[in-house]
Amino acid sequence: MNVEKGRIRGAVLAAGRGFVVSIATLAGSITLFVWAVLSIAFIPLGIGLITTPYVLELVRKHANQRRLLAVTWSGIRVPVPYRPFPKDVRTGFTGQVERTTLMLKDPATWRDLRWLLVDMTVGYVTSSLPSALLLYALEGLVLAAGLWRVFTDDRYWYGFVPVSSQATGLAAAALGAVLFTTGVLFGERLLRLHFVIVRAMLAPTQEEALARRIERLTETRHEAVDTAASELRRIERDLHDGAQARLVAMGMNLGTVEALIEKDPAQAKKLLAMARESSAEALTELRDLVRGIHPPVLAERGLGDAVRALALRLPFESEVEAELGGRMDAAVESAAYFAVSETLTNAAKHAGADRVWVDIHHEDATLRISVTDNGRGGATVGGGSGLSGIERRLGTFDGIMAVSSPAGGPTMVTMEIPCELS
């Protein structure tokens, strides 16, 4: 009984979602396809040079919305393959011409247009069937309840059943029951088929994905070199300004003690006490420095326990859930730890949050981490922010980051790093 209720509930949910998508295919895909074709056709007249970037940007937003629905409703991930604009793109009419040229040279643009054609035809059918099967089945039951009497002067066709009497009304109800059963059994699959078609039309080819991956790895390699050099300078600066200075001062104090040990024992004792304090402070700073390079708890107990220890030092309530069936490569583990650390630091310093949730799990050869806080929101990537540093750190390992932070909160930072557990 519970299984049947679950199937019916799933079918009704798929019908509602399919209805939403079918409206988007009619209102969105048809309109945007017509606009895009007209805008590209008007390029020789000059009008299209101005309108095309805006229209194609709307097409991309429409496609990205469908990508979001695909992963949210069916767990189907569709990569976003659009080529980024160069940083030196000019403004004004010249910039519009340049953007038009760049977008038309992008293979993803033409994939989007082909997808719009498929979406308004096959996509509409696969998205509308889950709701159509259930609603049309209800009509068969209504006919059997007596609605057939309205059509006594003329036959009313329900599917392939001509309804003109109570007997044929019952036959319509039987057909409706079959349609309802079909909708319950196949509604979710039909909606998933719609998103499978979306992935087939919008996903980049293997060659494009490989080229993009190589380009991404080249960028992250340079960023990794710059990050490593910056980290080395930080360590050198911390050693020079902290522990090294204290050790030098301690050596000078010990030299003075050696000269005063017989002449002024009291003063010598004071200097020895100062040297002891300096050694303790230098040891503390060295431990902090080592913890900043690779925390001992991370090396000893793994990412889950290291993040729990990190969360305990936060000035507000935290909740950490970690489900890892093993250990990952030390470099990946360290990158993930410091990415979480930076995210929690941002939540403590800038978000005004009083609670944070951290979820860490590994599936499909991917480490997935989400950090959510109930702060004020408004976090963005770029402009040299801490989130940009996290993105660069993850990019070294072909990882990605997504940020959802509407004004007023909450903020969710999601990170994924491809890796295997040992």
**59-100 residue pLDDT tens:** 999 999 999 888 888 888 888 888 877 776 666 677 778 888
- 385, 351 contact by CB (below 8 A): no
Q: 417 versus 389: which is more confidently predicted? A: 417
Q: 369 versus 174: which is more confidently predicted? A: 369
Tell me the average pLDDT across 44-59. 89
Q: Give the residues across from 415 on adjacent strands.
A: 369, 401
Q: Over 90: is that where the pLDDT of 56 sits? A: yes
The whole-number pLDDT of residue 119 equals 93
- 384, 422 contact by CB (below 8 A): no
Tell me the average pLDDT across 309-332. 84
Please report how many Cα atoms fall inside a 13 Å half-sphere around the Cα of residue 168, on the Cβ side: 16
Q: Across all residues in the chain, what is the average pLDDT? A: 79
Residue 37 — pLDDT band, cuts 50, 70, 90? very high
The whole-number pLDDT of residue 133 equals 84
The whole-number pLDDT of residue 293 equals 54
Residue the block writes with tokens 């209800």:
138
Instruction: Give the torsion sign (CA, 69, 72, 74, 80).
Output: positive
Tell me the average pLDDT across 167-174. 75
Nearest to 72 by CA among 81, 82, 64: 64
Both tokens of residue 378? 């408004």
CA distance 161 to 146: 15
Respond yes or no on whether the N-terminal peptide bond of residue 84 is cis (omega within 30° of 0): no
Q: Over 90: is that where the pLDDT of 182 sits? A: no
Tell me the average pLDDT across 26-42. 92
Residue 403 — pLDDT band, cuts 50, 70, 90? confident
- 315, 356 contact by CB (below 8 A): no
Both tokens of residue 286? 């060295």
Residue the block writes with tokens 């007023």:
408
Q: Over 80: is that where the pLDDT of 150 sits? A: no
Q: Over 80: is that where the pLDDT of 35 sits? A: yes
With vertex at residue 207, the alpha carbon angle to CA 201 and CA 209, rounded to the nearest 5 degrees, is 70
Tell me the average pLDDT across 232-259. 67
Q: What is the pTM of this model?
A: 0.57
Respond yes or no on whether the N-terminal peptide bond of residue 53 is cis (omega within 30° of 0): no
Tell me the average pLDDT across 331-338. 83
Q: 216 versus 289: which is more confidently predicted? A: 216
